[in-house]
Structure 1
Amino acid sequence: MSIEITLDVMLALRKVKSKDLAAQIGITEQNLSLLKQGKVKGFRLATLEAICEALDCQPGDLLKYQPTVKDSDA
């Protein structure tokens, strides 16, 4: 996937545990873990908003675009 989720970095910078963030924004620790690992295809903007509010950050602090290299480009 071309979008990398850098939630783990922001959690470390803010010194917040995944368990605490999950409880604060109202999702399960398992769903937060899947999100951190980039194993979800999408998530609600309301969830992104809640994460940004809880961690005092911007969406761009949590998402990074990494273009994929196509076989013809290599």
Structure 2
Amino acid sequence: MGPIKVVHVHLIFEKKDFYFGSLSAVFETLDEDRIGIKKSTLLHAKMEDGSVKMTKRARIVVSHLIRGNR
């Protein structure tokens, strides 16, 4: 099984953190005005593991889930 993608969204002014499985899933919970970026812009940003996108309202980080051995 490959790495599991995690999208961490930190809302700067609300001081809240959200975790999602994809960039598209972010917009099912949070609207564009709250994040400070349009869905189409974020999807075309080519964010890969370790990428960070800053807006005036949020910090968006794409990473992967670290799991232990079974």
Q: TM-score, normalised by structure 2?
A: 0.33
- Bigger RCO of structures 1 and 2 (CA < 8 A, at least 6 apart): 1
Q: TM-score, normalised by structure 1?
A: 0.32
Q: Which structure features the higher share of strand residues?
A: 2
Q: Which structure features the higher share of helix residues?
A: 1
Which structure has the larger Rg? 1
